[in-house]
Chain A
């Protein structure tokens, strides 16, 4: 049982507040992604959980026990670093067995565990290799195996896949998620890649400027972003400046639309996902339709991205192509913004 609770954690470096009163609960067996742009405090937060940084304020509780002041080497967590930090002077087997040798496990037990772990990462034959002889993906897996060697109470990963090429990264995301599910280990992963977070996480915690902006299940955050930052950071969003007119009506530069919820008055930002926009030829007819001009079409085969100028605001629509792209630059089009897809925030 490993239930981690962060209670109003603060970290200041001189005058800079890197982590600003973060509260978070990570239930046993849960996979949490700390997601945010660089400098948002996510790595600092992870390092405090690992015991590598001391919080300036707040408490860390593991199963109700206060571990705020417990040094890193007494926490029994496993961590994969951004640089991987594999020991260059040790073989793969010695790297994986490091935590066991520190605990004084006997040689036979170490060998058996190394064999198990290398099988777990599907690299059974590399035990005697030097770290410098491994490929990027192999190093990655060895670092994961090493961190799991002593059945950690908490498995922490700091952007572990960022150095890999896109294809390998996507494959390892799935592999890592399956591994975590199989072992049932409580996991916290730091990333700036929203796609990575969406792939792996049970819970995503979106951070910006040291604060938690929103936390929840991936699709919940994707569908109902709490603010304009989250809407823009998770996936891509069309963010339109407008004014609330009351009763869910929003006045945009190109016309008035109905939205579900939002403030009753004042300046607002309306957010809508590119895949929710519907394009048609001809003049606007019906509710929530705006008129615009196609300025650019990006057709990459799998999807078609249409950029539309709509009374001075740029909208991007994404669709799966059926036959030839129906629009080209200069076409007048009607853009329909379904009311249920519009999320409105105070500007």
Chain B
């Protein structure tokens, strides 16, 4: 490849200078820690101690069991569901947001950004209170006569899903916003002059023209929720604990860093291949 602006192959150190800084940053903060993790995943745990250097596949072999397979399957399913909900709710929300006056849009975006400043712990405890029997939302439903008596909705699968979506929703909106705010309004108007009702125009034109952003939003929400490890413990029951919870448990509480590292790597490979598959399918449909 020739560099396009100078028209010649970079030769001297000065030619390479612009890429040295980002390359160094990636090396120090990404490649090296990642390499350490890969190395440790082949080490052996010392019971009662830490770990010692060997080369073993035992850590990988260990989670090829029904138990870890189920946990992995549940984690991926949960994240996929959360991603679909986030984009399903976030896309119409963002579209309507971009139709508002500029000042109102900024207010909403500031509000969404401020939600990002809440930590996973605070969000988890807030939702577990909101969904509890003693002080939760069900008391409101009793007050308006929709429920007979207060119910406890947490811990449970629904509570966990709500918490995860709450965390990922602002990111989804922020990712969709640039595409939707740039969408030519005349596209929808053109669809309407050709006989499409506003709803039909939204699905055939707005959704269609934003296909890539929707795909990116799904991937972002999926990968983001896959890494959440506190909420399952706060809002879910033990059967709802995800692979991230297992990794944390192994690495921190069981002092089994090699096994934790192996699980983390395996999770990364699985999610990367799922993302790759999604992109491939998206491209084939676009072609």
**Could you list which residues of chain A lie within 8 angstroms of chain B, going by C-beta atoms?**
50-52, 71-79, 81-83, 85, 87-90, 98-99, 102-103, 146-147, 149-150, 156
Distance (Å) between the CB of A151 and the closest chain B CB? 12
Does B275 touch A at the CB level, under 8 Å?
Answer: no
The chain B residue sitting closest to A82, CB to CB, is: B186
Question: In the complex, are the beta carbons of B193 and A79 less than 8 A apart?
Answer: yes
Asked if B192 is at the interface (CB within 8 A of a chain A CB), the reply is yes
**In the complex the two chains form, is A75's CB within 8 Å of B184's CB?**
no
Q: How far is the CB of B114 from chain A (nearest CB, A)?
A: 32
Residues of A within 8 A of B201 (CB): 73
Closest to A99 in B: B194
CA distance A99 to B184 in the complex (A): 19
Closest A residue to B190 by CB, please name it. A85
Q: Which residues of B contact A82 (CB under 8 A)?
A: 186
| Complex interface residues of chain B between 173 and 231 (CB less than 8 A to chain A) | 184, 186-187, 189-198, 200-201, 204-205, 208-209, 211
- Inter-subunit contact A85/B195 (CB<8 Å): no
Q: Which residues of B contact A85 (CB under 8 A)?
A: 184, 186-187, 189-190
Q: Can you name 10 A-B residue pairings with CB atoms under 8 Å?
A: A51-B192, A52-B192, A72-B193, A73-B194, A81-B186, A82-B186, A99-B194, A102-B191, A103-B195, A150-B195
The complex places the Cα of A103 from the Cα of B286 at a distance, in Å, of 23
Residues of chain B whose beta carbon lies under 8 Å from any beta carbon of chain A: 184, 186-187, 189-198, 200-201, 204-205, 208-209, 211, 286
Select the residue from B186, B190, B200, B204 with max chain A CB neighbours within 10 A.
Answer: B190
Q: Are B189 and A52 in contact (CB under 8 A)?
A: yes
Nearest Cβ in chain B — how far from A283, in angstroms?
61
Q: Does the CB pair B196–A102 fall under 8 Å?
A: yes
List, in ascending order, chain B residues with CB within 8 A of A149's CB. Answer: 194
Provide the bound-state CA to CA distance between A99 and B192, in Å. Answer: 9
**Extra contacts besides A87-B190, A88-B209 (11): CB < 8 Å:** A73-B195, A78-B194, A79-B189, A79-B193, A81-B186, A81-B189, A85-B187, A87-B205, A98-B194, A102-B194, A150-B195
- The 4 nearest A-B residue pairs measured at CB: A99-B194, A85-B190, A85-B186, A79-B193
Known contacts being A82-B186, A87-B187, is A77 close to B208, with CB within 8 Å? no
Q: How far is the CB of B285 from chain A (nearest CB, A)?
A: 10
**CB pair B194 A89 closer than 8 Å:** no
Contacts across chains A and B counted by CB atoms under 8 Å = 73
Return chain A residues, CB-CB under 8 Å to B198.
73
Cα distance A77–B194 when bound, in Å?
7
Find out whether the CB atom of B192 lies under 8 angstroms from the CB atom of A72: yes
For residue B20, give the distance in angstroms from its CB to the closest CB of chain A: 35
Name B207's closest neighbour in chain A (CB-CB).
Answer: A89
Q: In the complex, how many angstroms separate the beta carbon of B254 from the nearest chain A beta carbon?
A: 50
Q: A88 — which chain B residues lie within 8 A by C-beta? A: 209
Cα–Cα, bound, A82→B186 (Å): 9
In the assembled complex, which residues on chain B have CB atoms less than 8 Å from the CB atom of A52?
189, 192-193
Interface contact A89-B208, CB-CB below 8 Å: yes
Is there contact, CB below 8 Å, between A83 and B197? Answer: no
- Contacts known (A73-B197, A102-B194); A89 close to B189, Cβ less than 8 A: no
Shortest Cβ distance from residue B100 to the other chain A in the assembled complex, whole angstroms: 17
User: Which residues in A have their C-beta under 8 angstroms from that of B194?
Assistant: 73, 78, 98-99, 102, 146-147, 149-150
Query: Across the interface, do A78 and B193 meet the contact criterion of CB distance under 8 Å?
Result: yes
A83 touches B192 (CB 8 A): no
* B195: A residues at CB distance < 8 A: 73-74, 76, 99, 102-103, 150
Residues in chain B near residue A72, CB distance under 8 A: 189, 192-193
Contacts of A73 in B (CB 8 A): 192-198, 200-201
Inter-chain CA distance A147–B205, complex, in Å, is 16
Whether A75 touches B186, Cβ cut-off 8 Å, given contacts A88-B209, A90-B208, is no
Distance between B234 CB and nearest chain A CB, rounded to angstroms: 41
Give the distance in Å from the alpha carbon of A74 to the alpha carbon of B198 in the complex.
11
Q: Give the chain A neighbours of B205 by CB distance below 8 A.
A: 87
Take A82-B186, A85-B184, A85-B187 as given contacts and tell me if A75 and B208 are in contact as well, using a CB distance cutoff of 8 Å.
no
Q: Separation in Å of the B232 CB from the closest CB of chain A? A: 37
Of chain A, the residue at the smallest CB distance from B195 is A102
Q: Is the CB of B191 within 8 A of A98?
A: yes
Chain B nearest CB: distance from A55 CB in Å?
17
Cβ contact within 8 Å between A81 and B190: yes
